Structure 1
């Protein structure tokens, strides 16, 4: 049997086997998964006050199928002895080389970009094991891309969520319904905003383990979740696939990998064989009970003074044909539509113009309203706000590029505050309804360069120099904008000819560039975090007199400083 066939094999289990598996999950969760407890009704809880219940297409996988194989009960051997038979524990502890490298590189990247997340690579390995058996046992090429796409089941409501196509089949090849894609099993609508380029090839490919592992890390770390806090890690895992059994399985593999792993050649990893859907892929259809005729009712006796009911054959009347018993099958009912299903369109809810300087928070928030076809507001609808494209480094507060908000009783959803990055120019914020295929609303936001409206000297000492010497004092100024510190503001310093002529002078004081050459215009200057700018040293040629130094910043702030070159007093 080929590796691919073995990987796709499903084990059909009876009720007894399912019960045994459930006991095993609970036992492993109790022994290996900190923070997972059981309440007084036998239900498992995750250490938090409430368990999130996201919509299926607002999770990483759409709550698709996953593998339920559990790790061995014995601790793994970090490095099996060469030449000896490999035990199951040693085999399970082996992670394909490229896949393992992708997990560790994702952890290193997140350590820099989101140090507060404390993401362990073993958590990515645990999810990768449960989602795809470590990319089908490491069947990837040198760049980390799977030899063939890894696709989950069709999410058409037949045993799984019903998620209509969101990518026109671009990722999953299905233009009718979505399917989870790649070694970390992202559905297309989630990959659209969560995808990352983990191997720096200029593409975001869900079938590449480097891209998928980095995307999974960022997905888990969103909302400032800290993986060193058990309840927060549990919440992140549940947002990946909203199932307590899934959580327990991932935590079991996490603890197993933490005890020791080793690298194995690509394509030789062990393959799982047990699926969360029990191999059926469908939900059983209940069979209605057979319709039975009600028991015959005895004839009612006649009361004195009242004629009795006619009986068949007594000549009083023709026989009454028996009536059909009433049907026990209830008439079909039309299900009540959910709030999301009643939404016809999105309307702007007074967003206004979105403009901010680099590094600042926008003073306005994106707000939309969900409405029915006749314009009525719809409450309790999930709206996703996404910062689109790579042309900006702006984020929502908290550092994320996507946020999901539930509409209030007025049907309004307001996105978190936008925070401008350092890239200037326009970018787009898109609002869409989660779980509904319909047109969204796009908003244009603009980031302008940092500005200063005032410049002042930090000292008042006279700036003097002898011919051919250097000025003892370096010019230092402070920039502000509307009274606040103006940090990281671009500035230019020029030795000008006169107050009325801003062209660079050809004599008098000067700066030196990196090569020691004379320059009288110095560009590329920037104020520091305190809004302070200290200019390079100034030198004087043999020309005496009074000269002017002009400093200009983005935003229009200008300061002119007087410089004097005179022979030393005798």
Structure 2
């Protein structure tokens, strides 16, 4: 690592203080009790995913190696780009891009407060990955005006990942490419993507979505990014390269010392891609330095020395058997996924759940080869397909799981939303165009199988008056509280005749008219339901009120109406109304 920083210093691109900070951070990650980051083609055990899959990189193979100027920026947010120290111009971050980083920081502070992700870290990664979306070349919604895609992941010098998104994000139907301002690989975006601007979409080409997704990705494995060891592990999980780690740490330190907002499209563009291959060039924009951030074929090659003889060739992505791309050294080796010839259902139970509940069964598949034997270490992508709001844990609609030694992969548990009906859980082999497997799933309405009255006080009323006490019931399902369950209350003729009564107690609708069936009721969070107020006409005797719920729970309650006292009492307004039932409205 010392040799790496020596080379950087000779290029006049980083201060001794920044270098020392990065080295110190690397050393801290190797302290007792903290897993040591592997700086070769291996992976650290700390990089386990909380998305139901093995670890993998988020970033593509190509990134910018440019480092901050020797002088730090000023802390004056009003300073014009280029004013003051040489670092001031580089400290300018395009307005929309900076806003996306800060909004992501605020959202993660709310949802993952223990992670302590900072907008400066997101800015450091954004600078290295795409030069802050190519100098802020984004529209008002934060979507890149020109596509930012990396080279094809065809195994020639880096990972080998056949197309997984049908070219949806990267425009390539043969191989996957890293895409967007934070350079997500489509297989990673499939489970890591987030909607950062609230437009209902998860678009890796949108800086708001990509910045929030980056924060969530870095916060995996319960990391605390205020800890140097966790910070290093997070950055290495994004792109498993010692040079990449050092470069990001340098920009992080730089932005912590000061940064300011500049207009979109005027950010300083870096010029030195790590591979020399570069992402797709951007057409020359008047007023902007460079053409496409040095990614154009006409841009000069980076002054990048060779790695130390003892270092193995760096892979832009970790390459253990669970990686969807398979080994990248040599590129021609066969990955486990490429030996799979069939994907079949593996003992999946009934995928059904009540609205709001967790599915007890999980989708499960088995990957086999031509000899019918199970194939391990194959990544399987599970996707929720159809008109449903059911999701996997964390609100994701996709998840990736790795097959075990028997070839079986099981999806994470799903949780049903409020939308009822049928949908599909589709399983496919990551990186292969093999036929997938569909699991039928369904969500049923919230239901109760038992109703009980709360309290035992007699419910009585004088003819022509209103009942002093309201009927309260509690719903349960298999002994547990049944909340949000639809219910109907009806005054019936008798225990054997559940048709609506034509005399006796009644409810009132919103217009004050007498009704004897009240629909649209719903149990509260504790399963209780307080019925609307009841009134009595001039009929006396014992009457029956029946409450029913979705799921078949039924309860019948007695209501007694007595005659008015001798001498007569003034007739209440309620009694003067016709008790004849009108059409039963919703509550």
TM-score range (shorter-chain normalised) is: 0.7 to 0.9
1:29 and 2:26 correspond: no
Q: CA deviation at 1:453?
A: 0.6
CA RMSD of aligned residues (A): 3.9
What SS does the aligned partner of 1:102 have?
Answer: helix
More divergent stretch after superposition (549-558 vs 190-199): 190-199
Contact 1:57 1:189 in 2 (8 A): no
Partner Cα separation in structure 1 for residue 241 and residue 470 of structure 2: 65
Aligned to 1:550: 546
Contact 1:56 1:161 in 2 (8 A): no
Q: What is the aligned residue count? A: 504
Q: CA deviation at 1:90?
A: 3.0
Partner Cα separation in structure 2 for residue 65 and residue 208 of structure 1: 19
What SS does the aligned partner of 1:89 have?
Answer: coil
1:469-522 deviations in Å (ceiling 9; x for gaps) = 332222111111122222222222223344344444454433345565554433
Among residues 344, 349, 353, which one is paired with 2:350 in the alignment? 353
Partner Cα separation in structure 1 for residue 54 and residue 473 of structure 2: 56
Change in Cα spacing, 1:157 to 1:38, as seen in structure 2 (3 Å) is farther
What SS does the aligned partner of 1:91 have?
Answer: coil
Q: CA deviation at 1:120?
A: 3.8
Partner Cα separation in structure 1 for residue 252 and residue 25 of structure 2: 9
Contact 1:44 1:244 in 2 (8 A): no
Partner Cα separation in structure 1 for residue 334 and residue 305 of structure 2: 22
Among residues 464, 467, 471, which one is paired with 2:467 in the alignment? 471
Unaligned stretches of 5+ residues in structure 2: 278-300, 307-329, 567-587
Q: CA deviation at 1:532?
A: 1.9
Among residues 383, 392, 408, which one is paired with 1:412 in the alignment? 408
Aligned to 1:166: 164
Partner Cα separation in structure 2 for residue 27 and residue 108 of structure 1: 30
Among residues 232, 243, 246, which one is paired with 1:245 in the alignment? 243
1:156 and 2:151 correspond: no
Partner Cα separation in structure 2 for residue 230 and residue 529 of structure 1: 44
Partner Cα separation in structure 1 for residue 195 and residue 122 of structure 2: 16
Partner Cα separation in structure 1 for residue 555 and residue 443 of structure 2: 26
Among residues 480, 484, 490, which one is paired with 2:486 in the alignment? 490
Q: CA deviation at 1:462?
A: 0.6
Contact 2:422 2:440 in 1 (8 A): yes
Q: CA deviation at 1:142?
A: 1.7
Aligned to 1:366: 363
Among residues 426, 434, 448, which one is paired with 2:430 in the alignment? 434
Question: What is the TM-score normalised by the length of structure 2?
Answer: 0.74
Larger Rg: 1
What SS does the aligned partner of 1:92 have?
Answer: coil
Question: What is the TM-score normalised by the length of structure 1?
Answer: 0.76
Q: CA deviation at 1:123?
A: 3.5
Contact 2:55 2:237 in 1 (8 A): no
More divergent stretch after superposition (417-426 vs 476-485): 417-426
Contact 1:453 1:481 in 2 (8 A): yes
Q: How does 1:282-431 map to 2 (within 5 A)?
A: 337-388=334-385, 391-396=388-393, 399-431=395-427
What SS does the aligned partner of 2:184 have?
Answer: coil
Change in Cα spacing, 1:273 to 1:261, as seen in structure 2 (3 Å) is same
1:274 and 2:272 correspond: yes
Change in Cα spacing, 1:44 to 1:479, as seen in structure 2 (3 Å) is closer
1:159-214 deviations in Å (ceiling 9; x for gaps) = 22222222333322222222111112122333344444444445443322233334
